[in-house]
Structure 1
């Protein structure tokens, strides 16, 4: 999963259209896989994903947004195979946090993969 997130980071940070939309966006996103022992953290600073970290569950860093789902859904979400809105509506994905963070995340998915 870490390699998937690193590729996502590179793709987001290199995309000029995404950078225009998320300029000034600062947030911390916790990614918790229900069926795995590790969780992940994305630190977004001024619209760029500054860091991707893996850590053991239970040692959660401070975060503004949290995404919780099974490992397969999480990987599909960051590879562009899973629509976050549909997965959330189907009960496969839980998103906690501000609506503006969710909208920006959805915009990234639409631009990178055409998912809406």
Structure 2
């Protein structure tokens, strides 16, 4: 069973068996506007919490997306290379950005659940 967490930086993580699928929330993609490019990370890259993992470019601006926890990239969403607008149309499903193997699952304890995130953006 996957568990979903949220960050103050408007990212979501869906964690299953020690691997987190990471993306930006619907709220974040609405603030950014139409995405035109996603600079995806290389598999095998180690990330520390707070590192810039991905850069998303919209018609308005470029924005950094940060690693919400420590881990290693195991997969990037290659579909975004030719179709970055997937992030706009399906931010929490097909528009995921990367998958990472968690180094320290205890870091998840500092993240929000959906109710907490809704209160944040509320």
The answer to whether TM tops 0.5 is no
TM-score under structure 1 length normalisation: 0.29
Kindly indicate whether structure 1 or structure 2 has the higher relative contact order, using CA contacts under 8 Å at least 6 residues apart.
2
Q: Is the helix fraction higher in 1 or 2? A: 1
